[in-house]
Structure 1
Amino acid sequence: MGIKNACQGSFAAIAGRLTTTSIKGTDVTVPKRTKKPDKPHPAYPLYPHGSGQWAKKVRGKVIYCGPWADPDAALNHWLRVKDEAIAGRPVSDDSCLRLKQLCNLFLDSKDARVKLGKMTPRSFKDYENACTYMVGFLGGAIPAESLKPADFTRMRLAFPETWSLRTQRNMINTLKTVFNWAYKEDYIDRPVKFGENFAVTLKEESTSTADSPAKLFTRAELKALHTAASTPLKAMLLLGLNAAYGNIDCSRLCQKDVQGEWLRVPRGKTTEPRRAWLWPETREAIRLAMEARPTPKPDHAELVFVTEAGVPFVDRDTKRCNVGKHWRRAKKTVGLERENSGFYAIRHTFATQSEEVSKDFPAIRFVMGHRDSTMSGTYRESISDQRVRDVCESVRDWWLAGDAKGSEVAE
């Protein structure tokens, strides 16, 4: 029996009589005209109701939370039901699965997959960030099965304006995964309905793409940015153009990985194997970056790139990216202000230029760390070093066009 129903009738007692009611299995005796207690402290959110309970009035309705004798338990109950009460939902009992509990169960399951080697820590962090965002917006105490399409529409409308459609789509798909998992694992009895608005449609994406400039640099833009870049950023730029490396790839690169001509580091995002032949220009830029590297903190001594504070350029927990900070500074120096000109667009440039010239698509996917899900990819057991080198050389030829090839560093 819910707290409100258990109390309302019983406390309408005849004058001079003691009233007894059961609240969560505990008999509470309330004498008539007992003096109301003071709040335990000024910030206490409940008030002493004449029924003998601590209560809160929300949307014109009184929420009964527990007897005067136990203000702490009453407060705990209020914190559990606050979100649904404020949202105008019927206050449920304590047996239902709350949103925060559901998210914790989901994350526990995904953490086990990380430990089993079936998921990358980065993917887990994406799930954790999505769950944190949802609980922060909807409230962790709301019963998971009580969520309606209107709740998800409200959440999408509140997405930050700075989020691209791709970021919105990733967030939406991740949150849908949480509830689909809960249904398959029998934590909820029915699928959650998200509604038509909690999705990024193909039309939205097509319109956005049509209105935005391509994520592609010209050779002249990259040359100017390379000239304006700091010493570590010069090496990162060449890693992006030579090996299709992104911000996080550069940040996690270790010294042992760049001892020779070949870079053989699985892609951190997907653990897909990949390989790249390092240009002489890239190897020289890495050497110079290592010479100029600030003193790293002990936990990060193996990294090629560290910030002035001696930590990685990308924080794995907060995702704070100092690569982007250095990149924006270089862009400002050369006056490059257009959209879609972030550091990651270098990876797009690599893919575009290598396909224009090399056309060895399996080798290009291999350098980029993309899984080849085609039928031929299923049967292909290896890609030769020569094919990989040819892909990397094709982009180098584009990069050095107009220069004396090898002028920056002798072969």
Structure 2
Amino acid sequence: MANSTRRATISKPDKPRDDFPLFAHNNGLWCKKIRGKLHYFGVWADPQAALDKWLDQKEDLLAGRVPRAKSDADELTLEVLVNEYLAAKQSDVEAGEYSSRTFQGAFTSCESIVQHFGQRRVVADIRQEEFAAYRKSLVKAKYAPNTINTEVSRCKALFNWAYQAELIDRPLRYGPQFRTNKKSARRQKAKAAPKMFEAAEVRQMIDVAGTQLKAMILLGVNCGFGNTDCSELPQSALDLKGGWVDFPRPKTGVERRAVLWPETVQALREAIKSRPEPKNPEDNGLVFMTTYGNRWVRMEPSKTEGIEPHWQDGLTMAFREVVKGLGLVQKGRGFYAFRRTFRTIADESNDWPAINMIMGHTDPTIGGVYRQRISDERLRAVTDHVRAWLYGGQEGGAK
């Protein structure tokens, strides 16, 4: 049960006609390869807008020039802006400067923004009272303070980009009400139950999880891996004989190295051995695949015409089944809570630079500038401490 996810019965959309010059990329955008590089022209749900953009930029792209964006501030609609923005961010993903997880968040937020303001809304005419109304709608929908802060920041990023890209002649004024509220977020955190798992709970999950999910849970508590980390983990990042993983975080590209416990190594061997054949040949080198040969975290088209594609997180669904079956459901404790669990327990080892290396966190202090390396012995000491916490006192556990 925990080793499966919902069957993908939908696929990328067909071209609207035989001579349509673009193809549907699996990131949810219409795409064309020009002079050896992929270029993106808009979301699947609006092939006409994507075609219009292609025709507008065709001459420059074929000549190897960077197309100059249109800057008619009186005509730029939110629909066009979102298409331009997502295409630019997908190019950043291809260049390794923007993670797929961050793109996923931007994509979802753009959907929410378009739904609220309207796709034909002229960008330059949006006023501060409308931004305030958007924030109020998030509060009314009972989003958590942290989520509201994130949505406000993503919304500002979209419209700030429009000005930087010369799509509008002046920056928009958001007004004093369209703001983040860190105080509310801190109050929420203080009132909420800890968003981590206890050792006994983790052991229960490991005992009942299927082959792949068991390995992913162990990566979560052993190394602080999250959903996208597991989904995008290549076999080339693993040294199962030596017991190491070297895998920069997909979200940030920050270097990450960790010791793999014997239990994690064994679970990974079993997961790789029983891994289903990938549907996409590009996924052949990945460690994990769903029962149907898909990535655990991926873009899926909508079943309904005119509705944007969405991100499918099979890992979240499979993990929810296990947690529900064990009676361990608690708000805020999804699979990503393993990163919080690892950090909380690892901090007790008092070697924060080593912990940052394992989790792929940057060190903003002056020490991070001068520090040139962290020994493997220090990394091992951290993961040994977490393993002792997890298996301490258990027969056959940490020694």
TM class, shorter-chain normalised?
A: 0.7 to 0.9
Aligned: 1:123 with 2:102: yes
Of residues 301, 304, 314, the one that matches 2:297 is 314
Q: Does the C-alpha gap of structure 1 residues 386 and 333 become closer, same or farther in structure 2, counting only changes over 3 Å? A: same
**Number of matched pairs:** 315
Does the 8 A contact of 1:364 with 1:388 survive in 2?
Answer: yes
Partner Cα separation in structure 2 for residue 123 and residue 193 of structure 1: 25
1:168 is matched with 148
Describe the SS at the equivalent of 1:276: strand
The TM-score, its normalising length taken from structure 1, stands at 0.70
2:59 is matched with none
Partner Cα separation in structure 1 for residue 73 and residue 389 of structure 2: 65
Aligned: 1:323 with 2:305: no
**1:286 aligned partner, one-letter code:** L
Partner Cα separation in structure 1 for residue 239 and residue 202 of structure 2: 26
Partner Cα separation in structure 2 for residue 114 and residue 256 of structure 1: 20
1:380 is matched with 371
**1:193 aligned partner, one-letter code:** R
1:302 is matched with 285
Query: What is the deviation of 1:355?
Result: 0.6
Query: What is the deviation of 1:352?
Result: 0.6
Comparing 269-278 with 372-381, greater Cα deviation is found at: 372-381
Describe the SS at the equivalent of 2:322: helix
Describe the SS at the equivalent of 2:311: coil
Partner Cα separation in structure 1 for residue 93 and residue 275 of structure 2: 32
Comparing 131-140 with 108-117, greater Cα deviation is found at: 108-117
Query: What is the deviation of 1:239?
Result: 0.3
Query: What is the deviation of 1:374?
Result: 0.9
Partner Cα separation in structure 1 for residue 115 and residue 161 of structure 2: 20
Aligned: 1:273 with 2:273: no
Identity %: 37
Partner Cα separation in structure 2 for residue 293 and residue 248 of structure 1: 17
Partner Cα separation in structure 1 for residue 145 and residue 186 of structure 2: 10
Aligned: 1:147 with 2:139: no
Q: Does the C-alpha gap of structure 1 residues 94 and 224 become closer, same or farther in structure 2, counting only changes over 3 Å? A: closer
Query: What is the deviation of 1:193?
Result: 2.2
Query: What is the deviation of 1:308?
Result: 1.4
Does the 8 A contact of 2:231 with 2:296 survive in 1?
Answer: yes
Gaps of 5+ in 2: 1-71, 301-309
Does the 8 A contact of 1:110 with 1:119 survive in 2?
Answer: yes
1:43 is matched with none
Aligned: 1:243 with 2:223: yes
Partner Cα separation in structure 2 for residue 307 and residue 233 of structure 1: 10
1:344 is matched with 336
Does the 8 A contact of 2:347 with 2:355 survive in 1?
Answer: yes
Partner Cα separation in structure 2 for residue 384 and residue 394 of structure 1: 16
Aligned: 1:290 with 2:272: yes
Query: What is the deviation of 1:164?
Result: 3.4
Partner Cα separation in structure 2 for residue 111 and residue 237 of structure 1: 29
Rg larger for: 1
Could you give the per-residue CA deviations for residues 6-33 of structure 1, whole angstroms, max 9, x where no partner exists? xxxxxxxxxxxxxxxxxxxxxxxxxxxx
Does the 8 A contact of 1:257 with 1:263 survive in 2?
Answer: yes
Partner Cα separation in structure 1 for residue 286 and residue 171 of structure 2: 45
2:347 is matched with 355
Of residues 220, 232, 235, the one that matches 1:255 is 235
**2:199 aligned partner, one-letter code:** R
Describe the SS at the equivalent of 1:104: helix
1:42 is matched with none
